[in-house]
Amino acid sequence: MPVRPLPVLLTSALALALTALPLAGTASARPAPSSSCSAQAIEAATPDGPDVKALCAALAGLPDQDATAALIRVGGKGSWQGSAGVRDMRTGAPVIENARFRAGSTTKIVTSAIVLQLAAEGRISLDGTVQQYLPGLLTKDFPPIAVRQLLNFTSGLRPGASLGDTTEEMYPHRFETLTPAEVVAASVAKGPDPEYAPGERQDYGNIHYTVLGMLIEKVTGDSYAHQAAVRIFRPLGMRHTSFPDGPDPRVHGPHNRGYEWLDGKLVDVTDWNMSDRWAAGDMISTTADLERLLVGVFKGRVVPEPQLKEMFAVPKAVDATMAAPFTPFELNGRTVWAKTGSRPGYHTVVAATRDLSRSVVYSVNSTDARGDGEAIARRFAFPAFNR
């Protein structure tokens, strides 16, 4: 499929303007700070709530070299919301607080929840195999791979086809379509992991959840997107969450545009065909909807026990650090379970203590969204758990 004409790059003058933003302070480029960050709001913050001062400091000065906009939503004891930046670098229009964005790999929360629902309904077994539910997908070279091993990234499947490993490599191909079937076929062609059997080593990657998307469609006889809507989005009231219509590259509805530094220039990367990420990372959502998802999952409204424990069970495997799909972190004496998501121009985090005494959801329009995610989280998420 031929590549469509590239959108016009931001002019060098605009790039220089962004470089100067920390000193410029113009009204068009620097919208007024959120009322959540007023001196009165910071002063009124409760001692046992989130660190509002640090959260406001994270938002101060946007847009800057690292991000053009940010939306932060803190829940639990001491709820708080803040936003800053611009929705469009060309006009300097202020950030949209309820904007939709590409949620990246937080999609895996939805996929794992559907699979665990199917297990609770007795329609699949987590100990059942890919070979059982998707006959013919794998060659005879592959040992049995359990559904649970797909969920916790220990399946041994190797990465599938992609349109590049970096944003720079992917950008020229951003309107091309790579189907999930093509992604999986390329993985299968590489054969099984030559060193570790399924279940022995954890290797995070989209391939596991791409196969789970196929399994969901096979078992239900329905599309993955429709199953996500009827099982997750509608029951939780996630009215602004959806999947693109196939290769549609647009983010429909109100959204803040995403930008990345490519070859020294700030480039608009908002329009992008993400269909190859599918059940592993194609979701579009809002911070309010992702908070609904987080609370619904943690409270057992989405996945019943005993299946829910799978979402917090880190396997005993080489290199294992995450469950299906949350990863535990220790922050200021608390165990926080988190999932990140990144697509060009957009970096997302959902995180909470298991008892939901504190949660945070953010969307940051990072200019290096697939780069140092920890640095972004330290700036925009960690303050929520400072105290």
Give how many domains the chain has, as a whole number: 1
**Quick check: is 301 in a domain?**
yes
In this predicted structure, the answer to whether residue 287 has a pLDDT above a threshold of 90 is yes
**Quick check: is 1 in a domain?**
no
Q: Higher-confidence residue: 61 or 78? A: 61
> Which range in 28-37, 294-303, 373-382 is most confidently predicted, on average pLDDT?
294-303
User: Over the stretch 180-191, which tens digit does the pLDDT of each residue have?
Assistant: 999 999 999 999
Q: Higher-confidence residue: 232 or 27? A: 232
Residue of 41, 66, 59, 65 whose CA lies nearest to 95: 59
Q: Higher-confidence residue: 27 or 159? A: 159
**Quick check: is 100 in a domain?**
yes
What pLDDT is recorded for position 272?
98
**Quick check: is 143 in a domain?**
yes
Report the first-to-last Cα separation within the chain, whole angstroms: 52
Distance CA 231, CA 214 (A): 16
In this predicted structure, the answer to whether residue 24 has a pLDDT above a threshold of 50 is no
Q: By the 8 A CB rule, do 347 and 363 touch? A: yes
What pLDDT is recorded for position 372?
82
Least confident of 185-194, 231-240, 372-381: 372-381
What pLDDT is recorded for position 161?
96
**Quick check: is 7 in a domain?**
no
In this predicted structure, the answer to whether residue 1 has a pLDDT above a threshold of 60 is no
**Quick check: is 298 in a domain?**
yes
Which CATH number belongs to the domain containing residue 180 in this structure? Answer: 3.40.710.10
In this predicted structure, the answer to whether residue 8 has a pLDDT above a threshold of 90 is no
46 band by pLDDT with thresholds 50, 70 and 90: confident
Total-model pTM? 0.91
Length of the chain measured in residues: 387
In this predicted structure, the answer to whether residue 67 has a pLDDT above a threshold of 60 is yes
What pLDDT is recorded for position 5?
33
In this predicted structure, the answer to whether residue 13 has a pLDDT above a threshold of 80 is no
In this predicted structure, the answer to whether residue 25 has a pLDDT above a threshold of 50 is no
What pLDDT is recorded for position 35?
64
User: Over the stretch 334-366, which tens digit does the pLDDT of each residue have?
Assistant: 999 999 999 999 999 999 999 999 999 999 999
Q: What is the mean pLDDT of the chain?
A: 91
Distance CA 153, CA 207 (A): 9
CA distances 307 to 220, 282, 339, 370, Å, are: 19, 24, 19, 31
**Quick check: is 308 in a domain?**
yes
- Residue burial 296-310, b: 16+ Cβ < 10 Å; e: rest: bbbeeebbeeebbeb
User: How many secondary structure helices (H) and strands (E) does the chain include?
Assistant: 15, 11
Which domain does 20 fall in, by range?
12-385
Residue of 244, 292, 276, 260 whose CA lies nearest to 364: 260
What pLDDT is recorded for position 48?
82
Least confident of 5-9, 138-142, 312-316, 339-343: 5-9
In this predicted structure, the answer to whether residue 218 has a pLDDT above a threshold of 80 is yes
Summarize the confidence of residues 69-85 as an average pLDDT: 95
36 band by pLDDT with thresholds 50, 70 and 90: confident
Summarize the confidence of residues 110-117 as an average pLDDT: 98
**Quick check: is 5 in a domain?**
no
